[in-house]
Every structure is written in C-alpha cells, then in structure tokens.
Amino acid sequence: MSAMFARAAAAASSRRRHLGRRVNRAVGNTLFGLLIVAVMVPFLFPLYWMIASSFKVQAIISASPPVWIWQPTLQNYVGILTKVPFFSYAWNSLVIALSATVLSLLLGLPAAFSIARYRQYALASAILIVRILPGIAYIIPWYIIFSRAKLIGTYPTLILVHVMVTLPLTIWIMISFFEDLPSELTDAALIDGCSILGVFARVAVPLTLPGSMVAAIFSFNSSWNAFVSSALIGGIRIKTLPVIAYGMRAEYSLDWGGAMAAATVIVLPVIIFTLLVQKHIVRGLTFGALKG
C-alpha cells in the first residue's frame, strides 16, 4: 500500500515539475517577446507613421493632438503620380541603382579577393577610410569637376558617383567571405593548373555566392536611397525617386501628405525586396560562422 502511495506521490511530483518547466518556458517566451516589441517599437513606429500619414489629408496630419482614426484617402498618391513625372524618376532610380550595383560587384569582387588572398591590409585600410568619409567630402569636388566638364545630369556621371559609395561597401563585405574560404581549395586548383583568375572565377566566386548576394542587396539599397548625390550630380535632367520627397513643397509650406506618400513609394519596394531575399541575407551573414 505504501509503495502505491509512493508511486502516486512521485508521479504527482513529476507532473508538478513538468508543469513548472512549461510555465517557466511560457513566461520566458512572453518576456522575450515583450522585450523584442520594446526594442522594435522605436524603429517601426516612424515607418508606421510615415505610411499612415500618406493616407491623411494635410489638416489631419497637422492636427494636435494627433488623430488616430480617420477616413483614408489616396489623393496624396494621385498627386505624386500626376504632379510629377513619377515613372521617369522610378526608371532613373532603377537604372542607376542596378548599374551601380553591377559595377560594384564587377570591380569589388576581384579587389576583395586580392586583398583577402595577399593580405593587402594597407589597401583595405585606405578603402575603409574612403567608406567612412562623409559623402559631402567628395560630392562637392566631384560636382566642381563634372560641372566644368559639362557632365552634370548624365547617367554615367551619376552612376560613377554612386559607385564611389557602393564599391567600398562591397569590397569590405566580401573580404571576410574570401578570407573564410579554405586555402586547401584554392591551392588544389592552382596545383591542377588553374590560373589565379581561374581560381577566382571557378572556385572563389561560386563558393561565396551568398556573400555576393548580401553585397548586392546592400549596394542596391545604398544607391536607391541616395539623395544628396542624386540631387547635386543629377541636376535637373536626371532625377531619382528620393528627389520627389524633397520636391513635395507648396509655396510657403511643405506638402506633408505628398512627402509621406513619396517616401512610402521609395521605401516599400526596398522593404518588400529585402523580405523576399531575407533568407539569402541570413545565409550570407552566417556564411563561414561554423567553419571547422
């Protein structure tokens, strides 16, 4: 009889321990979720406010205290589609961003491979200095040079200026990926008669494709969102989407609704694209993390 009571007590104790672990796990998951929300709210709220304001009229946007329930309107989006050559701006942004990204990969991948293989740390430091310099430090000299050469407002000029921003970023992203490549693979290819260019094209590039995807995504985003260079070097002939938001001005005030609609149109494609390729970003950022 006592043995039965002992077994029942042990079973009850096991159930209590199991229930306690489940409660602790649920509480931990809840606290972790609340922590994530607390961290993300300061970053996501401005995005929400921008998108929400794009569906408001000017009076509601300027209302104090803020209006949280309103009748949505599409007049701001209609305005940016009819008042400005939106599709022309979008085409300019797409051509320039894609061209800058492709050129950055074509020039940055060989440079990063060379730096990683031959330990050219002085060159890497020089590229890093160029990357951390404020953009205005070289935009003004470029503007003076191109204006005197009468090249302001041309595709090649604006693409070149964007490459000045995206190329160092591409190189520094790819250096770590090439450094993580096992030296045995490249050495074996050289022993088999492959040239160093062949090693780069046939071994290094295919194996670091996740890193190339990450570099391409960040380069495209940097070029797509560039404003100062597009406004100065593009001139009045080549304007990109970020210029729309700056151009949403009335005679004595800022058209906040139009500016928010333009900003939403500029940002949302990049966000959607990033969400679609996020698995490549995660794979690329964790590439080589478990090596060895």
pLDDT in tens, 77-98: 888 888 778 888 889 999 999 9
Tokens of 279: 């698995």
User: Is a pLDDT exceeding 50 seen at residue 45?
Assistant: yes
pLDDT tens for residues 106-136? 999 999 999 998 888 888 888 888 777 777 7
Residue 255 has pLDDT above 80, yes or no: no
Confidence of residue 18 (pLDDT cuts 50, 70, 90): low
- Tell me: pLDDT of 75 over 50: yes
Q: Do the Cβ atoms of 270 and 221 come closer than 8 Å?
A: yes
CB atoms within 10 A of CB 221: 18
Give the per-residue pLDDT at 252: 44
* Mean pLDDT score of the chain: 81
Which single residue is written with the structure tokens 């321990």?
17
Q: Which two tokens stand for residue 255?
A: 């058209």
Distance, CA of 196 to chain centre: 32
Residue range 226-232: mean pLDDT, rounded: 83
pLDDT (0 to 100) of residue 289: 45
For residue range 140-162, list pLDDT tens digits in order: 888 888 888 888 888 999 999 99
177-184 own/partner pairs: CB under 8 Å, 24+ apart: 177/112, 177/208, 177/210, 177/211, 177/284, 177/287, 177/288, 178/112, 178/113, 178/115, 178/116, 178/117, 178/204, 178/208, 179/116, 180/287, 180/288, 180/291, 181/116, 181/207, 181/208, 182/291
Q: Among positive and negative, which fits the CA dihedral 239, 245, 246, 249?
A: positive
Reported confidence tier of residue 251, pLDDT bands at 50, 70, 90: very low
As a dihedral over the C-alpha atoms of residue 102, residue 106, residue 108, residue 111, rounded to 10 degrees, the angle is 180
Pick the CATH number of 75-285 from 1.10.3720.10, 1.10.275.30, 3.50.50.60, 1.25.40.10: 1.10.3720.10
Task: Check residue 4 and give its pLDDT.
Answer: 59
pLDDT value of residue 109: 94
Average pLDDT over residues 28-45: 83
**25-33 average pLDDT score:** 81
